[in-house]
């Protein structure tokens, strides 16, 4: 069964709508993913850098920085406190990354968008019948359960 032109048109509209949903999902999700990755990397690196002075300098570093206690707190303590905060921030960002699996969802969304684009092309050039196109579309839908339809309100 090849399907009527109206049925094929309706399927093409559904595919286009799903691809638009995927694009919206990616527009929202990719910046969050990038922010979490960047935060994790930068804060982890800063934590290491802040502890390098006391770690490598030892007593000489501590004696040197104790001379400049303009904040009323030894500088080495301030560095260690900042390093702890950076480390906690990196751990939290990493936790959110793993918990949300944004990287996996983004990858899956891109893959399914490519499949839907291919399906659109096959329909457009009459290379697939309605039954097969509907099966492939439905298969893509089941793999995209994490993508929510945007609200219409």
Q: Could you read off the pLDDT tens digit of each residue along the chain, which spans 153 residues?
A: 467 889 999 999 999 999 999 999 999 999 999 999 999 999 999 999 988 877 787 777 777 766 555 667 777 788 889 999 999 999 999 999 999 999 999 999 999 999 999 999 999 999 999 999 999 999 999 988 877 654 444
Distance of CA 11 to the CA centre of its chain: 30
Angle of CA points 99, 105, 106, to nearest 5°: 125
* Structure tokens belonging to residue 51: 């502890």
Distance of CA 62 to the CA centre of its chain: 41
């Amino acid at each position: 069964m090849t399907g009527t032109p109206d049925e094929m048109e309706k399927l093409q509209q559904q595919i286009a709508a799903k691809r638009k949903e995927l694009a919206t999902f990616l527009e929202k999700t990719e910046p969050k993913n990038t922010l979490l990755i960047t935060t994790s990397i930068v804060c982890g690196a800063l934590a290491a850098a802040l502890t390098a002075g006391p770690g490598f300098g030892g007593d000489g570093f501590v004696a040197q920085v104790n001379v400049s206690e303009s904040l009323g707190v030894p500088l080495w303590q301030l560095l260690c406190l900042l390093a702890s905060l950076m480390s906690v921030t990196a751990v939290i960002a990493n936790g959110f990354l793993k918990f949300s699996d944004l990287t996996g969802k983004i990858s899956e969304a891109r893959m399914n968008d490519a499949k839907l684009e291919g399906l659109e092309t096959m329909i457009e050039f009459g290379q697939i019948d309605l039954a097969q196109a509907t099966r492939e579309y439905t298969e893509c839908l089941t793999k995209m359960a994490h993508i929510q339809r945007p609200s219409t309100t």
